[in-house]
Amino acid sequence: MMKIIFRLGLVICLFLYSWYFLTATMLELGDKPGFMHMINLVFHEAGHAVLFWAPQLLCSFGGTLGQLVVPLAIAIAFLVQKDDRFSATVCMWWFGQSLVDVAPYVNDARASRLILLGGATGTDIEGHDWMYILDQLNILSMDVRIARVVLASGRVIMVLSLLVALFLVFWCYFREKKQQES
């Protein structure tokens, strides 16, 4: 029963924490990214480091790839190795939040006003990852539209993950209750 209570508490905490990511504007998300941004940033920078040998386009995309692949890989590990749907669902919430974290940078590709790692903006240096990526793909003018799709996708994944996690908590509760009655 304690496991169920803990998991319900975690879902409630994630919902409360998610509220900002679900309601903030794109600009607010870029200006005040929050605690999860620092976690995502570690895997973002690791993605660049892992792909340092690759062509610049792939290396630039490696940061975003790193911060998206890690939560997915952990979710798969929870499913395959532990058959732990709840933990995998929490990792899917993280994946959605990571998409929300990426969206302001995609949105900023042309404007280059966001403060980057090191304190400079994209206009102070040669630009940033998403400016380079979208420019190389000749879709820089679509930065805002692409960012909106990324943001909406992340938000939908976050909400669906929380709903699935809540369902799993109640499913476990009723299953445990039924086992106690038998």
Q: How many domains does the chain have?
A: 1
The neighbouring-strand residues paired with 115 are 121
Range of the structural domain that residue 66 is part of: 50-167
Q: Percent of the chain scored above 70 by pLDDT?
A: 97
Is the pLDDT at 36 greater than 90? The verdict is yes
Q: Map residue 34 onto helix, strand or coil.
A: coil
Question: What is the amino acid identity at position 104?
Answer: P
| Inside any domain, residue 179 | no
- Mean pLDDT, the chain, integer: 93
Q: Tell me the whole-structure pTM to 2 decimals.
A: 0.93
- The whole-number average pLDDT for the span 118-131 is 76
pLDDT, tens digit (0-9, with 9 covering 90-100), for 57-103: 999 999 999 999 999 999 999 999 999 999 999 999 999 999 999 99
| Inside any domain, residue 41 | no
Q: Torsion over CA of 31, 147, 75 and 159, rounded to 10 degrees? A: 80
Cα(157)–Cα(160) distance, rounded to whole angstroms? 5
| Inside any domain, residue 91 | yes
Is the pLDDT at 54 greater than 90? The verdict is yes
Check residues 113 and 88 and name the one with the higher pLDDT: 88
| Inside any domain, residue 17 | no
